[in-house]
Structure 1
Amino acid sequence: MDQLPHSLDNPIWTALSTEQAHLGLGNALACRYHPEVAPFAAMESETPQAWLALGRLLPSGHQVALLSPQPPSPPDSLRAQPVGVIHQMVATGPEPGGADDPDVIPLRHADANDMFDLAHKTKPGPFCKRTHEMGNYIGIRVGGRLIAMAGERMHPAGHVEISAVCVDDAWRGKGIAARLVQRLQRDIQQRGESPFLHVLSDNRNAIALYERLGFALRQTFFLSLIGLAEQGPDLA
């Protein structure tokens, strides 16, 4: 169950202020993940001083992804590009039961290139060269080829985000994504933490799957790309 809802009100900030501070850059006003880890950034609160601090974390030509309860209002030195509405969903049911799935294997640093390739082929969301360092990742290989994976991304204290749920097109429709999500959900809950996830509001198939697995909407965010006002659209 969702026992620490305050940790999820500003999940990127909370994660980078607690369990994942070692993966981030910034100060007490604004922070971001290292560009090779994830494109997400956050501010402690939306103040002029925090916007200025966030701008200092943006090299020319780079953007970061920001979650906010309302559309952001950056100063003239920055620009915001709307991406969509994000549903934040939390696990509401008991720990999934069942025996271990022998096909599901842990993914390690040696699997990083295959994970990156699968994510860029299936596009579950942002996945960078070092995203696998954010938490535990699991997957399924067939004939040595990685055909599905899922893992842990943001880690605000008390919660763990399930992310990068992706299945090769040739293996979709076989219940693999549900198997991976339930395995992660069980592992997270056995550690005494609460699983949650983020999904774009127009991804109805994914939302329906997560609802069947016992996840419920907690709140919505606006997802925006933030960059310097004079720069191009590259994301890093």
Structure 2
Amino acid sequence: MTSGVENSAATSSGSPRPLLPLIDTAGRLSIESGASDNRCCLKPPKARMADPLHLDNPIWYALKTKHQYLDCGLGLAVRYPNEISRFAGLGAPTPEAFADLAASLNPGATVSMFTAEPLDVPPEWTVVRTRELEQMLCMQCQPEERQVPVELGFQDVAEMLALVEATRPGPFLPATIIMGRYLGIRTPSGSLVAMAGERLQLPDYVEISAVCTDPAFRGRGYAKDILSALIKGIFAVGCTPFLHVKTDQGAKGLYEALGFRTRRIINLTVMTRP
């Protein structure tokens, strides 16, 4: 792995963040009267909202901004180190950009891209699969935590990988935790049974990913507790949470209940370098 990555900051703000929101006189987090159950309705501060069109090409903009220190691409292409993520991005899908991407990869390496439109892949590349995903933004949230999640770190990665293997929420690699803050819920005996965390980081936008719960512990609201804590933490630093979900995935109902709404369809393309 690239030298120095292991000690990189693991939060979008560059320093540890508390589980509860930070509320100050500068209006970093706006609070309005909530529903009849007297819960607060949290919203991101509109004044800091960056261009939402950056979310049409989120991997590119993440690696050109907040995650620039992780970029190991070349020229017109960006990508994460293999131990962190197989994500790659292009400013525009030109032959020159694909050539730069190929030059940054070993033959046979696989990468994944998020694009606004279906990707026109050069014929020498092999497309492994494509899928439409719904990109959802959380513009407000009524947080509902019955259990306070715990912070997860490198010492927890082996358990996190085992939970991902058992639940298949999407890619999570040995160093993915470098990308942002991860939270989990443990049983009284100490077993990790649910988790989620931050992945792509853009100015004013933070992606939530790896949402999963051990099948034996589903139906207890653990995912909602973790998501509520992550959303509050992201709002607290003046950012807006977003995520990607399969159009036919049952978890979409949970995300909508927490305040996420579909922004647009994003195209996932997984392909192999010649």
2:79 alignment counterpart: 32
Q: Radius of gyration: which is bigger?
A: 2
Q: Secondary structure of the residue that 2:164 maps to in structure 1?
A: helix
> Secondary structure of 1:70's match?
coil
Residue of structure 1 equivalent to 2:154? 109
Asked whether the 8 Å contact 2:75–2:100 carries over to 1, the reply is: no
Q: Pick one of 211, 215, 228 that aligns with 1:169.
A: 215
Kept after mapping to 2: 8 A contact 1:29/1:44: yes
- Displacement after TM superposition at 1:199 (Å): 1.0
1:150 is aligned to: 196
Query: 1:89-115 CA deviation, whole Å, 9 max, x = no partner?
Result: 000215x446x7554110111111111
Matches within 5 A, 1:1-236: 1=44, 3-4=49-50, 5-94=52-141, 96-97=142-143, 103-142=148-187, 143-203=189-249, 205-229=250-274
Alpha-carbon deviations, 1:124-165, whole Å to 9, x = none?
Answer: 100000011111111011111100111000001111111111
Shift of the 219–40 alpha-carbon distance from structure 1 to 2, 3 Å rule, reads: same
- Identity of aligned pairs, percent? 38
Does the 8 A contact of 1:13 with 1:43 survive in 2?
yes
Task: Measure the CA separation in 2 of the matches of 1:170 and 1:20.
Answer: 35
**Secondary structure of the equivalent of 1:163?**
strand
For structure 1, list consecutive stretches of 5 or more residues without a partner in the other structure: 230-236
**Aligned-residue CA RMSD in angstroms?**
1.6
Cα distance, 1:228 vs structure 2: 2.4
Normalising to structure 2: TM-score of the pair?
Answer: 0.78
- For residue 8 of structure 1, report the CA deviation from its aligned partner: 1.0
> Partners in 2 of 1:185 and 1:198 — Cα distance?
15
Aligned to 1:234: none
- Once the two structures are TM-superposed, the CA of residue 9 in structure 1 deviates from its matched residue by 1.8
CA distance in 2, matches of 1:149, 1:228: 32
Q: For this pair of structures, how many residues does the alignment match?
A: 226
Measured in 2, the distance between the counterparts of 1:77 and 1:118 equals 36
Q: Is the Cα contact below 8 Å between 2:207 and 2:243 reproduced in 1? A: yes
Whole-angstrom distance in 1 between the partners of 2:231 and 2:95: 39
Equivalent position SS for 2:197: strand
TM-score, length of structure 1 as denominator length = 0.90
3-state DSSP of counterpart to 1:72: coil
Identify, as 1 or 2, the structure richer in strand: 1
Unaligned runs of 5+ residues in structure 2 are 1-43
